[in-house]
Amino acid sequence: MQNFGGLYDFYADKIYRFIYFRVRHKETVEDLTSQTFFKALENIKTFDSAKGQFSSWLYRIAKNTVIDHYRSQKRHLDIDNFWDLSTEENLEYDVQVKEKIRKVKEHLKNLDREQREIIMMKIWDGLTHREISEILGKSEPSVKMNFSRALGKLRKGEILALILLYFLISQ
């Protein structure tokens, strides 16, 4: 149990950010982060280091917790769009930033769901290709190829710089 406290201290902010970029509602993010760590603690004995890193296992729990959250919503939500990047209320002070965010969203919609997830995990969450492959249950070469293809699509749309700018604004 004490060891888990150390793991919580190390991963809490990372998991919070991971969930925040997918939910964008402070109280919900706090609840889902707590649920993630509770599920991890309940199932810690099922973690197998031979199958992957602890961080990947924890991120997979967080990802599934977010998906479960959206599935449990009473109103209909398209789960493929759970990656919504921003609420307007946080950026009303800057019309130019809002326009850049709109462009980022518009271009990210051109990617398939898996490519969006890989871009978010790589750029926003700072995960490695290996960690992403373990979270998604894909091979590392497949993740690298999808990331590269997604970047290619974004470069064609000249949007990559805007995505990085959004990332910096969100910090």
| CA-closest candidate to residue 59, choices 120, 26, 9, 18 | 18
The DSSP secondary structure of 17-60, one letter per residue, reads HHHHHHH--HHHHHHHHHHHHHHHHHTGGG--TTTS-HHHHHHH
Pick the CATH number of 87-171 from 3.40.50.720, 3.40.50.300, 3.90.25.10, 1.10.10.10: 1.10.10.10
pLDDT digits (tens, 9 = 90+) for 65-124: 999 998 887 555 555 554 444 444 443 444 555 666 666 677 777 788 888 888 888 877
| pTM score over 0.75 | no
1-82 folds as Rna Polymerase Sigma Factor; Chain: A (1.10.1740)
| CA-closest candidate to residue 58, choices 46, 73, 69 | 46
